[in-house]
Amino acid sequence: MKYLTNRKITKKFIEKILNKKDEKAGSFIIFTGKVRKDAVVNPGTRGKTYVREIIYEAYNKMAEKEIESIVKFAENKFKVREIIVKHRIGRVKVGEIAFLVAVFSEHRKEGFSAIQFIINKIKKKVPIWKKEILSNGKARWKKGSSYPKTPNFLLP
């Protein structure tokens, strides 16, 4: 399964997940992370500046491998039936979904534990970087998201 996508995560995609049939899954939990219009504090400037969009870059091959490893580990650890992960790469505007995790499990306890584990591990371990594009036209790398040593556009 491919986990990274440069396509929008649409309502149609989510509906397709919602319509999956699994008679042994008593719990279905879905998380979507959207780009927020965060206010930015710029000392010495007037007016408010907001995040307009985020550009996500990744070391795709390594990111896919890391996400796959996290998913497989979570499936075994929490004994869930199925996990679906999609993370956007490229430009994602305010209000658009950047990250989706869906977990099918027999019981909610395992599902909630698995989804929390997956979200935290992906955010911590997977080489995906965020560059915020601000309403004043400036850009900045998101704190905790240092500029990649090998940006995607330099990889073969």
The CA–CA distances, whole Å, from 101 to 12, 29, 71, 73 equal 15, 8, 10, 15
Predicted TM-score of the model (pTM): 0.86
| pLDDT reading at 107 higher than 90 | yes
- Domain-embedded: residue 17: yes
Query: For residue range 6-45, what is the model confidence (pLDDT) as tens digits?
Result: 999 999 999 999 999 999 999 999 999 999 998 876 655 5
The enclosing H or E element of 61 equals: helix 60-78
Q: How confident is the model at residue 150 (pLDDT cuts 50, 70, 90)?
A: very low
- Domain-embedded: residue 10: yes
Mean pLDDT of 42-55: 79
- Domain-embedded: residue 66: yes
pLDDT at position 89: 98
Tell me, what CATH number does 17's domain have? 3.90.1170.40
Residue 57, sorted as left (phi over 0), alpha (psi -120 to 50) or beta, turns out to be: beta
The total of structural domains in the chain comes to 1
Contact 68, 104 (CB under 8 A): no
pLDDT at position 56: 97
**Torsion of Cα atoms, 12 then 14 then 15 then 21, to 10°:** 140
- Domain-embedded: residue 22: yes
Mean pLDDT of the chain: 89
- Domain-embedded: residue 153: no
Beta strands at 82-88 and 4-5: parallel, antiparallel or unpaired: parallel
Query: For residue range 90-104, what is the model confidence (pLDDT) as tens digits?
Result: 999 999 999 999 999
Domain that includes residue 47, residue range: 4-145
- Domain-embedded: residue 27: yes
| pLDDT reading at 122 higher than 90 | yes
- Domain-embedded: residue 152: no
